[in-house]
Amino acid sequence: MCSTAWAQSSVTLFGSVDNGLTYVNNYGGHSLVEMQDGVNKSNSLGFTGSEDLGGGMHAFFKLENGFSLNTGALGQGGLLFGKQAYLGLGDDSIGEVTMGRQYDYTVLLEHYLPCLNCGLFGVQNADLDRVSGERLNNTVQFNSATFGGFKGGVMYSFGQNLGAQSTNLGRAISANLQYAYGGFSAGAVLTDIDKAAVFAGLTGAPTVLGVVVTPTTALVVDNQRILGFGATYVYGAWSAAALYTNTRLKLAGNTATNQILHVGGNWHIWPDLVLTGKVSFDHFESSRWYTATASIDYLLSKRTDVYVDLDAQKASGPGTVASIALTAPSSTDRQFVSRVGIRHLF
């Protein structure tokens, strides 16, 4: 006698939309009020699927699209599934192997970024440390199961025909190690990329690696190496977080390092009202930036919230100007940004 077992499978639709009004007091020399989407949570629409193969094994995939809510345009350079597109196999006792277009592990540092709900205004001016989340093409990734509170992963990106639709033209490697126990969690990440594209003109520095830059200057550096360490602790209605990143850039024999430290936390005044704040210290070559960020977040439901964000930055150093992420560099050493928005997850 024999019997047939039918595997269990599922496909899930998911996504997020975020929109609001942003005010910048100095946007390249003038004030600006604009409708801006995908700031506190990038807009996405995607599909995940899994199939139980039996014996603790499963197959799965993820296809995720980015887009502008205000114009309907595709994100990530017009790619259909520009945010993520991968296929994998997993074993419950060992871990998972995936292949495709995926985030490198610096995206995991978001979990240790204070005021994560404050959105992309709170990351490094030009996102040199990639904490906002950047993808690599042609990747193979392994993520382990959890053992005694520890888990980790490694990934490799083949530098083959990557072109302008990727953040790396050469090979890339990334690795992470994480630990969690009770209310405490910590993680470390290493990412190393050859021929990496960086938006040097958005740093606010007058020169980058010996190159005079304007706000639109983008460079392909010979190598970008990122080290990041973060930790969080949750105690009742309070939580604290700290994140340090060290990003080394190399170009034509010149080397420069960007170091940034974020410290902050949040307070759940009520289950549906959260106050969050942080300060950031950023040092790159002869330039420094000091940023204070605060947010008030009110949850209308588990999936919908409204928020107010406030960001202020002071720059120092010869020729250095303020340049809060997702804005244009200021014409002075100071910049202020405020935002009122709404976010929905599905």
Task: Domain count for the chain, please give it.
Answer: 1
Tell me how far apart the alpha carbons of residues 254 and 257 are, in angstroms, rounded to a whole number. Answer: 10
The whole-chain average pLDDT of the chain stands at: 94
| Cα→Cα distances 294→32, 48, 55, 114, 327, Å | 20, 34, 48, 10, 17
Domain of residue 264, residue span: 12-345
Structural domain includes residue 4: no
Q: Is residue 5 part of a domain?
A: no
DSSP letter at 74 equals B
Check if the beta carbon of residue 318 is closer than 8 Å to that of residue 329. Answer: no
Is the residue at 1 inside a domain?
no
Q: Would you say residue 307 has pLDDT above 50?
A: yes
pLDDT surpassing 50 at residue 2:
no
The span from the CA of 325 to the CA of 175, in Å, is 26
Rounded to two decimals, the pTM is 0.93
* DSSP per position, 16-53: EEEEEEEEES-SSSS-EEEEEESSSS--EEEEEEEEEE
Burial environment of residue 303 by CB neighbours within 10 A (0 to 12, 13 to 18, 19 or more): exposed
Calculate the CA 255 to chain-centre distance: 24
* CATH number of the domain bearing residue 135: 2.40.160.10
Residue 3: inside a domain, yes or no? no
Residue that is written with structure tokens 């039918």 in the block: 6
| Cα gap 182→327, rounded to integer Å | 38
Tens digit of each residue's pLDDT (9 = 90 or more) over 29-87: 999 999 999 999 999 999 999 999 999 999 999 999 999 999 999 999 889 999 999 99
Helix (H) / strand (E) element for 78: namely none
Q: What is the pLDDT of residue 43?
A: 96
- Contacts with 146 (C-beta within 8 Å, 6 or more apart), sequence order: none
pLDDT, tens digit, 9 for 90 and up, residues 226-251: 999 999 999 999 999 999 999 999 99
Q: Percentage of the chain surpassing pLDDT 90? A: 91
Instruction: Report yes or no on 329 lying in a domain.
Output: yes
pLDDT band at 163 (very low <50, low <70, confident <90, very high): low
Structure tokens at 118: 């404050």
The answer to whether 36 and 20 have CB atoms below 8 angstroms apart is yes
| C-alpha to C-alpha distances, 242 to 123, 125, 247, 281, nearest whole angstrom | 13, 18, 17, 12
